[in-house]
Homo-oligomer: A and B are copies of this chain.
Amino acid sequence: MRDFSRDHSALALNTASLGHNLEGHGAGWTTERVIEACAARGFGAMVYWRREIGARAVEIGDRTRAAGMEVAGLCRTPFLVGPYAEGRSAVLEDLHASIDMAAELGAPVLTSVVGGVIPGSHSMSESLKRVGEILAEAAPHAAACGVRIALEPLNPVYGGDRSCLVTVRDAIDLCAAIGHPAMAIAIDVYHVWWDLSLAAELKRAGAGRIVGYHLCDWLAETRDVLLDRGMMGDGVADLKAIRRAVEGAGYDGFCEVEIFSAENWWKRDPGEVLDTIVERFRTVC
């Protein structure tokens, strides 16, 4: 397992951690200011959200690299199925657009939160099958753009509306069913911390299939399952054991801090948040 206690160059910031990707939250720093603040603190990479990028993908990618960091990923594909998904042709069009943006940004990874159970189907299996069909159509375009699509299994609490993909096991199976090298998976502490089969499942994934590792913590008495994530060390997740499982499966990429926290971290000064992230990354992750 890598030792981060004296080297945090593997640390990446997902900009959601500063809350500026939702209106009315966070300090409202510009992307340029966030880049500068992260570079000054020795972060190794950035992960952006589409809504922040607009038409400036090439510019923001270049700016990040000019500051000495990489762009580790882009969030994210549209919902592919479920109550929040649009019709199939609109979904495919937006999926292609998200792949194009990742390519322009120079992001090797595009995260996918696949959407919930298809209304009226009462079936996760059927919903996952549809997800697989849609991604199979888009995977060749992703490959041509040099982008890998990272399936992110979400905590089962989101199974109904945001993601019918809720376990690492199912994500690996879905990757296998699609059978395209552009397909990969991302592991997020918030979504997998409870899964004692994690290490065994990740070994099954095989080297090179994991392209993202997201850090935060699960607060014991969480107030909101969307916007009350904890800073690493403040919750109940066994962060070392989870990283051991991820690295044991061959992952040696960035560790991306992604903390949605409307009532706590998003209300603090971004400089303090970034300093805390660095300190916790070196000590408890």
State the A residues within 8 Å of B (CB): 82-83, 116-117, 119, 121-125, 155-157, 159-161, 166-167, 169-170, 193-197, 218-222, 225, 235-239, 241
Contacts and interface: CB of A to CB of B under 8 A. Distances in A.
Main secondary structure of the interface of A (DSSP, over half): loop
A163 to B, nearest CB: 10
Contact of A160 (B124, B125, B159, B219): B219
11 contacts: A117-B236, A122-B237, A125-B196, A155-B156, A156-B195, A159-B194, A160-B218, A160-B219, A166-B194, A170-B196, A225-B225
Given A169-B197, A221-B161, A236 B156 contact: no
Contacts of A195: 156, 167
Stoichiometry (number of copies): 2
Contact of A238 (B124, B156, B161): B124
Contact of A236 (B122, B167, B225): B122
Given A156-B156, A157-B157, A160-B235, 8 more contacts: A83-B220, A83-B221, A122-B238, A125-B238, A159-B194, A167-B195, A167-B196, A170-B196
B116 A220 contact: yes
Nearest to A156: B194
